[in-house]
Amino acid sequence: MPRTMLTAVIAVLGLYLAFVALVFLGQSKLLYLPDVAGRSLAATPRAMGLSYEDVHLRTEDGVSLHGWLVSAPVTVRRSMTLLFFHGNAGNISHRLDSIRIFTDLGLDVFIFDYRGYGLSEGSPSEPGTYRDANAAWRWLTGERGLAPGQILLFGRSLGAAVALELATRVEPAGVILESAFTSVPDLGAEIYPFLPVRLLSRYRYDNLGRIASVRAPLLVVHSRGDEIIPFSQGQALFAAASEPKQFLELQGGHNDGFLASGVAYRRGLAEFLAGLGGPGHPATSRPTH
């Protein structure tokens, strides 16, 4: 090999290894994006005409978290509260459209920011998000006095992984996983096929390894048009899940599928809710379109 070519190969290899090192060291900034739209709250549920209360709770390792308990209209209220785990970017104030959908379905909604997000203290981490989920569950079952069967877990994207981990340890009324990945290494390998992601990843969020342990009625929601998390990963999670389970297929992208699907999304959620708590939990594996 000519010296000039060898020098070029070494230079390219050096740049590649430097990039790999940069990705390895900066993983947390790729996964957790609390500052994508600013840490301050852009609005409150009052902007949607909803009543709410500010909630401050403390995790087992002493971190203070902030959230909202949003009330459903009295005319449609069910005796059930949705514990909402949001995705990896922004904060609770960027989820008002989703909150409104759930309150319109008669659910009170408890949504909170993970450590390092919004008005919550600390810095995000995988174990930290699991502790945050524990604190939210304890607040609902302790401070609010709700029975586990009155709590429905909902997680979107990264939040689906946090909700799923909690669902393996508690007994909620049901679990909704929207736009969920099989694991962080699996997703990273899809996004960065030119990197040895499975060797580099310090994060797991192993949804595929956990989902069979969930015994509560399950709804998996995913869009074929999801440009970030492949539809096939949602299908793989559904296939690995235990009964009773349902699959709701959406249209639209990763961040707007629930809005783009409109009535079909709301109808699918309503059908799932209607099946909770009945004899034998009649939610089935029949896809909902």
| 198 part of a folded domain | yes
| Amino acid at site 34 | P
| 287 part of a folded domain | no
| Cβ atoms of residues 131 and 106 within 8 Å | no
Mean pLDDT of 117-132: 97
pLDDT tens digit sequence for 27-60: 888 899 999 877 899 999 999 999 999 999 999 9
- For residue 37, the enclosing domain spans 3-274
| 110 part of a folded domain | yes
At residue 280 the predicted structure's pLDDT band, cuts being 50, 70 and 90, is: very low
Q: Which residues are catalytic?
A: 157, 226, 254
Phi-psi label, residue 89: left if phi above 0, alpha if psi -120 to 50, beta otherwise: beta
pLDDT tens digit sequence for 164-220: 999 999 999 999 999 999 999 999 998 888 888 888 899 999 999 999 999 999 999
Mean pLDDT of 272-284: 61
φ, ψ at 248 (rounded to 5°): -115, 115
190 burial level (CB within 10 Å; 0-12, 13-18, 19+): middle
| Cβ atoms of residues 154 and 163 within 8 Å | yes
| 285 part of a folded domain | no
| 174 part of a folded domain | yes
Count the domains in the chain: 1
Parallel, antiparallel, or unpaired for β 108-112 and 64-70? antiparallel
Residue 137 three-state SS: helix
| 280 part of a folded domain | no
Looking at residue 28, which CATH number applies to its domain? 3.40.50.1820
pTM to 2 decimal places: 0.91
* Residue 66 predicted with pLDDT over 70: yes
pLDDT given for residue 5 in this prediction: 73
| 281 part of a folded domain | no
